């Protein structure tokens, strides 16, 4: 509601653009938080799922001729299948080996995209001219920031609700928490860790791919740059500042980093240095992130208000 009020009151295209990025990144980081924060799986291929969704929707719409409203959910499904494929070998690994394997996938994908121009990926130049979203007979071009903001807000709310209020509050979510906190005990209770990990990967990948497909149609272009170091570091900073597995910490981290990145954009090369210093400061003074800080404050207030 705060985003909706801020966007509609200010009403400037630049502000709408920032809010759109916040909404898209919120869906991505929520999906990543499901794996790292709540399932305890150190997956570093989250932007791979984002790229799969973006490229999948771009190829379906540009080469396949599908409208954006059909291409985006199909790309999300492709992302979910790709996530399951990544999860199958990952489920046989533990801890840092999962991180190394998934990060290797992240490093390999840009080269694969550049070498498969003949398959429709566009090579180094990517895919240009993605069609905008058409809804109820009206076409929404990128210049119509207010309409895109409302659509992005709906996408973010749906993704966040599905992860934090449906998946994590179900028996499936309880199983993920048990796997994270007491893997041996959860296995003794009959929790199939491998099956749950694959399912968590698929859910996280599908939601992230959906956000990537939406982003691709918003920008009307998709290139291997979305797998670049800057995007990956920004996503890591969002989680580090917000706090993993501490709702709504990850979402607060998104707001801080996206807005901070725009504020620091005029400093050019010093921007990433400043973000790095922010991360160092948050690790030292807020080891559990903004989410942990807020939950700690709420517990203190609850304990002080308790007359017993």
The Cα–Cα gap between 45 and 259 comes to 24
Mean pLDDT over 99-113 rounds to: 92
**287 and 210, same structural domain?**
no
- Residue 279: band (very low, low, confident or very high) from pLDDT cuts 50, 70, 90: confident
**36 and 178, same structural domain?**
yes
The Cα–Cα gap between 201 and 274 comes to 32
Q: Which pLDDT belongs to residue 5? A: 56
**156 and 268, same structural domain?**
no
Q: Which structure tokens are listed for 148? A: 């895109």
φ/ψ of residue 132, rounded to 5: -75, 170
DSSP letter at 40? -
**157 and 82, same structural domain?**
yes
The domain boundary residue, chosen from 173, 197, 224: 224
The Cα–Cα gap between 230 and 268 comes to 13
pLDDT reading at 118 higher than 60: yes
Domain span at 271: 228-308
**178 and 147, same structural domain?**
yes
Selection from 93, 106, 94 nearest residue 224 by Cα: 106
pLDDT tens, residue by residue, 48-98: 999 999 999 999 999 899 999 999 999 999 999 999 999 999 988 887 889
Find where tokens 């170091």 sit: 229
Number of structural domains in the chain = 2
Which residues, listed in sequence order, are joined to residue 221 by a DSSP beta bridge? Answer: 128
The domain boundary residue, chosen from 199, 224, 249: 224
- Residue 2: band (very low, low, confident or very high) from pLDDT cuts 50, 70, 90: low
Q: Which pLDDT belongs to residue 160? A: 94
**235 and 219, same structural domain?**
no
Q: Which pLDDT belongs to residue 94? A: 81
**152 and 55, same structural domain?**
yes
Q: Please work out, in degrees rounded to the nearest 5, the angle formed at the alpha carbon of residue 33 by the alpha carbons of 286 and 174.
A: 110
The domain boundary residue, chosen from 167, 193, 224: 224
**137 and 273, same structural domain?**
no
Q: Are 186 and 25 in contact (CB under 8 A)?
A: no
**235 and 220, same structural domain?**
no
Give DSSP secondary structure letters for 127-173. EE-PPPEEETTEEE-TT-HHHHHHHHHHHHHHHHHIIIIIITTSHHH
**111 and 146, same structural domain?**
yes
Q: Which structure tokens are listed for 55? A: 């490229």
**116 and 52, same structural domain?**
yes
- Residue 296: band (very low, low, confident or very high) from pLDDT cuts 50, 70, 90: low
pLDDT reading at 283 higher than 80: no
Q: Which structure tokens are listed for 83? A: 């996530």
**184 and 254, same structural domain?**
no
């Amino acid at each position: 509601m705060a985003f909706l009020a801020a966007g509609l009151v200010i009403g400037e295209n630049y502000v709408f653009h920032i809010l759109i990025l916040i909404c898209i990144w919120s869906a991505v980081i929520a999906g990543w938080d499901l794996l790292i924060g709540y399932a305890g799986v150190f997956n570093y291929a989250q932007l791979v799922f984002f790229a799969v969704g973006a490229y999948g929707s771009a190829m379906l719409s540009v080469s396949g001729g599908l409208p954006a409203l059909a291409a985006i959910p199909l790309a999300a499904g492709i992302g979910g299948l790709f996530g399951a494929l990544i999860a199958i070998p990952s489920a046989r690994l533990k801890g840092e080996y999962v991180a190394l394997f998934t990060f290797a996938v992240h490093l390999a994908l840009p080269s694969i995209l550049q070498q498969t121009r003949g398959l429709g990926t566009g090579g180094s130049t990517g895919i240009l001219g993605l069609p905008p979203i058409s809804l109820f007979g009206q076409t929404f071009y990128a210049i119509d920031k207010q309409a895109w903001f409302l659509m992005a807000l709906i996408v973010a709310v749906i993704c966040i609700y599905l992860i934090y209020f449906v998946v994590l509050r179900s028996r499936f979510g309880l199983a993920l928490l048990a796997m994270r906190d007491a893997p041996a005990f959860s296995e003794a209770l009959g929790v199939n860790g491998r099956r749950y990990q694959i399912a968590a990967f698929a859910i996280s990948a599908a939601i992230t791919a959906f956000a990537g497909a939406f982003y691709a149609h918003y920008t009307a272009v998709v290139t291997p740059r979305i797998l670049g170091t800057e995007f990956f570091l920004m996503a890591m900073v969002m989680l580090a500042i917000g706090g993993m597995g501490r709702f709504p910490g990850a979402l607060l981290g998104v707001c801080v980093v996206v807005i901070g990145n725009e504020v620091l954009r005029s400093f050019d090369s010093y921007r990433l240095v400043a973000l790095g210093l922010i991360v160092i400061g948050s690790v030292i003074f807020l080891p559990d992130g903004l989410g942990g800080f807020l939950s700690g404050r709420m517990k203190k207030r609850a304990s002080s208000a308790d007359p017993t």
